[in-house]
Chains A and B, each alone.
Chain A
Amino acid sequence: QKEVEQDPGPLSVPEGAIVSLNCTYSNSAFQYFMWYRQYSRKGPELLMYTYSSGNKEDGRFTAQVDKSSKYISLFIRDSQPSDSATYLCAMSAILTGGGNKLTFGTGTQLKVEL
């Protein structure tokens, strides 16, 4: 079983729709949670990160963490064609030698259609 599970999609929605992207995880040591957006043939771009359970909002994006259920979500309101990308969840754990490592989901491909 993977430490982080993410539905690969593809997910296709009409412009203006609310999008819900989700990840589940099994490792209780994960403390920090991030969402990255990756356009085709580009590097991952950090969208949001959060530590605590609950919601964090940034413009049209809301990140939600439920540590008791080991479940995180990213909501996109008023989706735009420019939101079409692959969305990666990532979770942070401490490395044995210090510092931290990120464990990534495999990504959900989103297409927002006109």
Chain B
Amino acid sequence: IAGITQAPTSQILAAGRRMTLRCTQDMRHNAMYWYRQDLGLGLRLIHYSNTAGTTGKGEVPDGYSVSRANTDDFPLTLASAVPSQTSVYFCASRPRDGSYEQYFGPGTRLTVT
């Protein structure tokens, strides 16, 4: 692995179902982020984690939860999916304290019907 991987690549999900989007990085970056990208709204931060064991809420956290058990993995869970959660989801990571740039994964395209 080199960089950030996300799974699945795409998914169609029935409303009300639970879904976990996976994100793994092999760069030993401390900070990780989840964004959603919607046409006309751009990328919006859902949740973030500055280091393993800590998480924080972004600007659109409702309906989503995250955990950070170790440095490499940062899963995003939709407990009960709704159609408004149809979006493209990107995981990102930041190299180190004091850096500001973030590096993105390839994304998961989610459709909630």
Contact = CB atoms under 8 A, between A and B. Distances in A.
Interface stretch (A9-17, A76-84, A104-112): A104-112
A101 B43 CA distance: 11
B106 interface: yes
Contact of A44 (B43, B48, B58): B43
Contacts of B48: 95, 99, 101
A101 B107 contact: no
A34 B43 CA distance: 14
Nearest to A48: B101
Contact of B56 (A88, A97, A104): A97
B42 A106 contact: yes
B107 A43 contact: yes
Q: Name the interface size band of chain B.
A: 20 to 34
Given A97-B56, A102-B102, A44 B42 contact: no
B61 interface: no
B107 A42 contact: yes
Interface in A72-99: 88, 90, 92, 95, 97-99
A27 interface: no
Contacts, number: 62
B45 interface: yes
Contact of B100 (A8, A36, A100, A107): A100
B74 to A, nearest CB: 13
B102 A104 contact: no
B56 A95 contact: yes
A45 B105 CA distance: 9
Interface residues of A, number: 26
A107 B42 contact: yes
A43 B90 contact: yes
A46 interface: yes
A92 B101 CA distance: 8
Contacts of A43: 4, 90, 104-107
Nearest to B109: A41
Interface in A1-58: 8, 31-32, 34, 36, 41-46, 49
Interface of B: 4, 31, 33, 40-45, 48, 50, 54, 56, 58, 90, 94, 100-107, 109
